[in-house]
C-alpha cells in the first residue's frame, strides 16, 4: 500500500477519493506488469526465433500484397490491409502525441528508449496474440469473422468465465474510457487552437465545447452504426492520410535540424539508464520513472500484448493465421518506432524546458517553435484525425466483445448509443483522472491476455514453425491446413482452417 494514496483517500473530496482509489489499485499492478510485459515479450521473441525481425520484410510484403488484392474468398470479410488499418486506427491516437509528451516531460528523454524497447519485443507478443485470434476465429450469423482474446480463452483454454471477464474489461476500457480520452483531447486541441486557454480563457467556450461534442457525435454515429465493415473502410482511407501528413511534418523538422540528431539520440540513451528518479511502489528503485512512463505510454499507444488489436486481426480473411500475426506486429513498429518517435523528436529538437509543459500543450509549443504559430491549427487538425480514428477503431474492438457476450441487434444498438454518450461526455467534462482510469483498465486486460497467450503458446509456436517452413520451401503465400495437426484440430470446431 502507498501511504500517500491512503492519506489522499482520507482527506480528499469524493471525486479525489475515487481517483486515489484508482491509483491505489493501479500502481502495484503496473509495478509487476512492467516486468511481466518484458519477460513475455522476450519469451515469444526467443521461442519464435526472433520472428518479428526474421520475417520483417515478409510482413511488409504481405501488407502491400493485401492492399492490392481486390478479391477475397468471403465477401463479408475485411481484407488483411483493412484489419491492419483498423488496428492502426485505434493505436495511432492521443498516445502518439499527448501520451509521448507526458512521458518525456515527466519521465525525461530516456522514456523514449523504453518506448522503443517495449515496442520491439512487444512485436513478438503482438504476433502471438493476433495469430491466436486468427486460429480461433469464428463466423457470426452474418458470415463475418469474429475473434480475439475472449474467443481464444474460451476455446483454447476452456475458461468461458475468463473470456467474459476480458470482454467486459475491454468494453469498459475501449468502448467507454478510451473514447472519452480521445474526445477530451480533441476538445482540448480545438480550445487551444482558438486561443481559449491559459490567460485567454473564453467565456464562450462553455458553449463551444458542447458544439464540438455534438459535431463529434454526429460524424461518429453513421460509422459506428455501420459496424466493423464500415469502420474498416473508413480506416483504410483515413489512417494513411493522417499518418502521412504528420510524418511529413516531422521529417521536415528532423531534416532542418539534422545536425542535432546525434545529440538527441545521446540524450535519450544516456537518460534511459539514469535511475535517480525511481517510480516508487512495491519494486522501488528497480524501476525508474523514465522506464515506467516509457513502458506505460508505449503500451497505451501500441497495445502490444494488451489483447485489443487481435479483435481486428481476427476479422481478416487470410490463408494462414501467422500472416495476420506478422502484419499486426508490423502495426506495433509503425505506431511506436515511427509515429511516436516523430513526436519525441519534435519535442526534443525544440529545446523547450519539458518540465514547464506537459501533454498536448508541450507538443503544440514544440511544433510552434519549429514552424510558427500556424502549428496550433495544424496540430489541432492532425490530433482530430488521430483521435477520431481511435474512436472508431476502439469501437470496432468493443463491438466484437459485445457480440461475444450477447449477439443481439438491440443490445448492440444500445451499446452504440452508450459509446456516443461517452464521446459527448469526454468532450465537455473535466476528466483529470481519465488517463489513470485508462491505465487501470489496460492493466486488467493485459494481465488476463498475457497469461492466456503464454498458456496457449504451443499453438503460436506451431503456427510460426509451419509458416516459416513453407517460406523456406519456396511458397510465396503460405496456406494453413489444420488437418496436419489433429490435437489442434480437436480444439477448433469452426472448420475455417480445414482444407
Residues 151, 154: Cα–Cα separation, whole Å: 5
In degrees, to the nearest 5, what angle opens at C-alpha 435 toward C-alphas 425 and 190?
A: 55
In the block, cell 488496428 appears at 87
| Contacts for 105 with CB less than 8 Å, ≥ 6 apart | 354, 355, 357, 358, 359, 362
Q: pLDDT digit string (tens) for 72-94? A: 444 556 677 777 777 766 666 66
pLDDT above 70: residue 441 = yes
Across the strands, what pairs with 145? Answer: 139
For residue 285, the model assigns a pLDDT of: 45
Residues 165, 8: Cα–Cα separation, whole Å: 30
Q: pLDDT digit string (tens) for 231-248? A: 777 777 777 777 788 888
Residues 420, 437: Cα–Cα separation, whole Å: 19
> What is the pLDDT averaged over residues 395-402?
84
In the block, cell 480550445 appears at 191
CB 242 within 8 A of CB 382: yes
Specify the long-range contacts of residues 252-256, CB closer than 8 Å, at least 24 apart. Answer: 252/371, 253/345, 253/346, 253/349, 253/370, 253/371, 254/345, 254/349, 256/370
CA-wise closest residue to 380 among 98, 105, 106: 98
For residue 16, the model assigns a pLDDT of: 66
Does a structural domain hold residue 495?
no
Tell me the CATH number at 231.
1.20.1740
User: CB count, 10 Å around CB of 218?
Assistant: 10
pLDDT above 70: residue 31 = yes
**DSSP per-residue string spanning 249-305:** HHHHHHHHTGGGHHHHHHHHHHHHT--SSB--STTGGGSBHHHHHHHHHHHHHH-TT
Structural domain count, the chain: 1
- Distance between first and last Cα of the chain: 55
Report residue 296 as a C-alpha cell: 506505460
Report residue 382 as a C-alpha cell: 492532425
**DSSP per-residue string spanning 45-107:** HHHTTSHHHHTHHHHHHHHHHHHH----S-TTSB-HHHHHHHHHHHHSSHIIIIIHHHHHHHH
> What is the pLDDT averaged over residues 301-307?
74
Q: How far is CA 270 from CA 110, 257, 265, in A?
A: 7, 20, 8
* pTM score, whole prediction: 0.81
Enclosing domain of residue 332: 1-490
Sorting pLDDT into bands at 50, 70 and 90, what band is 470?
very high
Q: What is the mean pLDDT of the chain?
A: 79
Report residue 260 as a C-alpha cell: 542535432
CB 18 within 8 A of CB 431: no
Across the strands, what pairs with 78? Answer: 316
For residue 452, the model assigns a pLDDT of: 94
For residue 80, the model assigns a pLDDT of: 75
Residues 394, 231: Cα–Cα separation, whole Å: 10
Does a structural domain hold residue 482?
yes
CA-wise closest residue to 283 among 103, 41, 105, 29: 29
CB 122 within 8 A of CB 305: yes
Residues 396, 170: Cα–Cα separation, whole Å: 11
For residue 291, the model assigns a pLDDT of: 67
| Contacts for 257 with CB less than 8 Å, ≥ 6 apart | 349, 370
Residues 480, 333: Cα–Cα separation, whole Å: 25
pLDDT above 80: residue 274 = no
Sorting pLDDT into bands at 50, 70 and 90, what band is 286?
very low
| Contacts for 154 with CB less than 8 Å, ≥ 6 apart | 160, 163
Report residue 207 as a C-alpha cell: 458553449
Segment of 33-42, 238-247, 328-337, 448-457 carrying the highest mean pLDDT: 448-457
CB 110 within 8 A of CB 273: yes
Q: Which helix (H) or strand (E) holds 487?
A: helix 486-489
pLDDT above 60: residue 283 = no
Residues 243, 476: Cα–Cα separation, whole Å: 29
> What is the pLDDT averaged over residues 119-146?
87
Report residue 126 as a C-alpha cell: 503482438
CB 430 within 8 A of CB 209: no
Report residue 251 as a C-alpha cell: 521529417
Amino acid at each position: 500500500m502507498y501511504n500517500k494514496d491512503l492519506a489522499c483517500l482520507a482527506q480528499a473530496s469524493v471525486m479525489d477519493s475515487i481517483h486515489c482509489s484508482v491509483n491505489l489499485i493501479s500502481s502495484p499492478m503496473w509495478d509487476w506488469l512492467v516486468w511481466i510485459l518484458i519477460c513475455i515479450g522476450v519469451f515469444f521473441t526467443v521461442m519464435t526465433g526472433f520472428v518479428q525481425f526474421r520475417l520483417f520484410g515478409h510482413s511488409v510484403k504481405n501488407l502491400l500484397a493485401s492492399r492490392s488484392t481486390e478479391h477475397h474468398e468471403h465477401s463479408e470479410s475485411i481484407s488483411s490491409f483493412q484489419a491492419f488499418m483498423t488496428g492502426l486506427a485505434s493505436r495511432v491516437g492521443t498516445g502518439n502525441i499527448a501520451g509521448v509528451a507526458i512521458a518525456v516531460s515527466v519521465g525525461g528523454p530516456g522514456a523514449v528508449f523504453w518506448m522503443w524497447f517495449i515496442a520491439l519485443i512487444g512485436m513478438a507478443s503482438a504476433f502471438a496474440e493476433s495469430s491466436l485470434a486468427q486460429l480461433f476465429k469464428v463466423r457470426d450469423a452474418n458470415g463475418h469473422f469474429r475473434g480475439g482474446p475472449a474467443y481464444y480463452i474460451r476455446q483454447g483454454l476452456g475458461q468461458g468465465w475468463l473470456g467474459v471477464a476480458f470482454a467486459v474489461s475491454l468494453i469498459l476500457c475501449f468502448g467507454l474510457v478510451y473514447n472519452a480520452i480521445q474526445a477530451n483531447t480533441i476538445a482540448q486541441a480545438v480550445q487551444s487552437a482558438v486561443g481559449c486557454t491559459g490567460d485567454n480563457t473564453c467565456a464562450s467556450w462553455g458553449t463551444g465545447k458542447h458544439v464540438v461534442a455534438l459535431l463529434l457525435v454526429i460524424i461518429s454515429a453513421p460509422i459506428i452504426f455501420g459496424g466493423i465493415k464500415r469502420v474498416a473502410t473508413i480506416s483504410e482511407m483515413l489512417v494513411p492520410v493522417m499518418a502521412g501528413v504528420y510524418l511529413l511534418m516531422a521529417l521536415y523538422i528532423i531534416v532542418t535540424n539534422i545536425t542535432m540528431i546525434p545529440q538527441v539520440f545521446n540524450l535519450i540513451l544516456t537518460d534511459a539508464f539514469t535511475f535517480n528518479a525511481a517510480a516508487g511502489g512495491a519494486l522501488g528503485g528497480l524501476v525508474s520513472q523514465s522506464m515506467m512512463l516509457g513502458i506505460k505510454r508505449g503500451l497505451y499507444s501500441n497495445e502490444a500484448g494488451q489483447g485489443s488489436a487481435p479483435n481486428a486481426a481476427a476479422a481478416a480473411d487470410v490463408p494462414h493465421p501467422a500472416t495476420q500475426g506478422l502484419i499486426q506486429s508490423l502495426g506495433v513498429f509503425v505506431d511506436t518506432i515511427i509515429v511516436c518517435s516523430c513526436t519525441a523528436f519534435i519535442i526534443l529538437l525544440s529545446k523547450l524546458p519539458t518540465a514547464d509543459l506537459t501533454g498536448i500543450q508541450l507538443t503544440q509549443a514544440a511544433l510552434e517553435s519549429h514552424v510558427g504559430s500556424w502549428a496550433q491549427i495544424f496540430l489541432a487538425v492532425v490530433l482530430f484525425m488521430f483521435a477520431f480514428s481511435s474512436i472508431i477503431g476502439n469501437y470496432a474492438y468493443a463491438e466484437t466483445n459485445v457480440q461475444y457476450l450477447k449477439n443481439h441487434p438491440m443490445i448492440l444498438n444500445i451499446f452504440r448509443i452508450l459509446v456516443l454518450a461517452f464521446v459527448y461526455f469526454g468532450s465537455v467534462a473535466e476528466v483529470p483522472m481519465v488517463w489513470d482510469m485508462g491505465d487501470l483498465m489496460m492493466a486488467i486486460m493485459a494481465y488476463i491476455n498475457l497469461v492466456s497467450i503464454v498458456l496457449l503458446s504451443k499453438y503460436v509456436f506451431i503456427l510460426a514453425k509451419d509458416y516459416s517452413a513453407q517460406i523456406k520451401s519456396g511458397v510465396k503465400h503460405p496456406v494453413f491446413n489444420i488437418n496436419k495437426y489433429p490435437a489442434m484440430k480437436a480444439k477448433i470446431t469452426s472448420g475455417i482452417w480445414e482444407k
